[in-house]
Structure 1
Amino acid sequence: MKQGFVPAISLAVVLVVAVADASAQPVPVTASRATQSQVQNSTDAALDERQARDWGLRPDEWARYRQLMQGPLGVYSPNLDPLTALGIEARSDEERNRYAELQVEAESRRVNKTLAYQRAYDAAWKRLYPGLQRVNLPGARAPGAGNKGSGRLAVFVKADCARCEQRVRQLQAAGTAFDLYMVGSRQDDARIRQWATQTGIDPDRVRARTITLNHDAGRWLSLGLPGQLPAVVREVNSQWQRQ
């Protein structure tokens, strides 16, 4: 074999390896990220469309709701529902009336579902614990005799509820005595104290017991009343009624 052939063979091998390496180069990172971004944007758009439809809103209305919640409204009331947020920030009477009607319809559906579940819950209680008394308001009488009220208003509220805070401020400003029950407090005294401080409840009135702060502990559900919180109720002729 002639020695002159060796360099040619080596050069051919090098060229083949170089071509193979070039063809195995990975897809540029920028292209991969662009594809992921497109998929994410498509997913977000589909989610926004579905959420808007659930609330009876158009896509542009849902976009405005999200924009509003990124501003002061979202800071003051971070858990505000879309219809309330858009209604508060309505730009015309027509808009305000539209969101009010949508919310009435939504609340009607929610209340009907809640009552249906309450009936199922009552039936389950009777099956599982026959003869055992349900949780009632203070001073409750035997089953069938109704809940005996103290004569004061009972006010049911929850955290992150601007309307709850507003209603309690109105009652306090009017000098009304009432028993406040926080729904979802998880038996945490600190949660109630923090809410009371944030709402501006007068500590002197709490010490004087003209306003009492209490955990709900299932009392709101035991009343079986329709509607959302806040709920201001009073016992009238052995029947609890919203005021």
Structure 2
Amino acid sequence: MTQVPVAVLAVFLVVGLRGAYAQTAPLVTPRVAQSQVMKSIDAALDERQARDWGLRPEEWTRYRQLMQGPLGVYSPNLDPLTTLGIEARSDEERNHYAELQVQVEARRVNKTLAYQRAYDAAWKRLYPGQQRVNLPGAQTLSAGNSGSGRLAVFVRADCAPCDQRVRQLQTAGTAFDVYMVGSRLDDAHIRQWATRAGIDPARVRARTITLNHDAGRWLSLGVSGELPAVVRELNGRWQRQ
């Protein structure tokens, strides 16, 4: 019987082990590895967003699932707390999300108002005596007449019904103060909207119409409903008109 050299056996053994390992070890392609990384990033992002809203991971997952259904089609920009509150499965759950949303919005309003005060102070330092939002052909606008009994009209820039309502009020000759929600304190943002909405510069000069940043006022009024909102202060309370 012919004996196989020990060195040759060792080579066969190594090759055999490598072949067995290649058959049993999972094959990780670059595409699979990239997919795993993206899943890990998405999971970390979901966890952070859930934490920002005061939600547990399973609550955030349910919110994401709800937004894939009819509610997400009808209201694609609905926030997580409102979404979960609308689709609450019990009174206790509904009350929980309502309280959580009040706390979150109160913190946001306080931070927004604090920044508005800082912005006002910075403007006075850098441009003393000069007012802010200018409409083409109009002089500058005031901070509105909140609390004077005039109409306050809360609008968004991407809201066709808001534009239509403002045009109706202007055509009727009504004096009112516009507050733009989501303006990010950007004067150019309001100017562009006012031009598109057909605000008359002469009405601005006469101060029968003023344009203002909302700066959290809409939330602070506690008036329910969608925008546009035409409200007036009556007996210390703001009411829709």
Answer yes or no: same fold by TM over 0.5: yes
1:155 to partner: Cα distance: 2.2
Q: Does 1:66 align with 2:58?
A: no
Residue 124 of structure 2 is matched in structure 1 by 126
Q: Work out whether residues 79 and 160 of structure 1, in 8 Å CA contact, stay in contact via their aligned partners in 2.
A: no
1:104 to partner: Cα distance: 0.6
Residue 107 of structure 1 is matched in structure 2 by 105
TM-score after normalising by structure 2: 0.57
Separation in structure 2 between the aligned mates of residue 86 and residue 159 of structure 1, nearest angstrom: 26
Q: Secondary structure at the match of 2:153?
A: strand
TM-score after normalising by structure 1: 0.56
1:177-229 CA-to-partner distances (Å, cap 9, x unmatched) read 89565544752479769xxxxxxxxxxxxxxxxxxxxx9843534xx737268
1:32 to partner: Cα distance: 2.3
1:25-50 CA-to-partner distances (Å, cap 9, x unmatched) read xxx98622222221111111111111
Residue 46 of structure 1 is matched in structure 2 by 44
Residue number among 212, 222, 227 corresponding to 2:219 in the alignment: 227
How many residues were matched structurally?
181
Give the AA of the match of 2:54. G
Q: Work out whether residues 154 and 233 of structure 1, in 8 Å CA contact, stay in contact via their aligned partners in 2.
A: yes
Separation in structure 2 between the aligned mates of residue 99 and residue 148 of structure 1, nearest angstrom: 31
Residue number among 91, 94, 117 corresponding to 1:93 in the alignment: 91
Separation in structure 1 between the aligned mates of residue 211 and residue 152 of structure 2, nearest angstrom: 14
Gaps of 5+ in 1: 1-27, 137-141, 169-176, 194-214
Give the AA of the match of 2:219. G
Give the AA of the match of 1:218. N
Residue 203 of structure 1 is matched in structure 2 by none
1:147 to partner: Cα distance: 2.8
Q: Does 1:35 align with 2:33?
A: yes
The two structures, once aligned, show a CA RMSD in angstroms of 4.7
Gaps of 5+ in 2: 1-25, 135-140, 166-173, 184-188, 199-208, 221-225
Residue 76 of structure 1 is matched in structure 2 by 74
1:71-110 CA-to-partner distances (Å, cap 9, x unmatched) read 1111111111100111111111111111101101101110
Give the AA of the match of 1:43. I
1:34–1:133 distance in 2 versus 1, CA, 3 Å: closer
Separation in structure 2 between the aligned mates of residue 130 and residue 29 of structure 1, nearest angstrom: 68
Q: Does 1:218 align with 2:206?
A: no
1:109–1:151 distance in 2 versus 1, CA, 3 Å: closer
Q: Secondary structure at the match of 1:227?
A: helix
Residue 116 of structure 1 is matched in structure 2 by 114
Q: Secondary structure at the match of 1:218?
A: strand
Residue 24 of structure 1 is matched in structure 2 by none
Q: Work out whether residues 81 and 101 of structure 2, in 8 Å CA contact, stay in contact via their aligned partners in 1.
A: yes
Percentage of identical aligned residues: 69
Q: Secondary structure at the match of 1:80?
A: coil
Q: Work out whether residues 63 and 84 of structure 2, in 8 Å CA contact, stay in contact via their aligned partners in 1.
A: yes
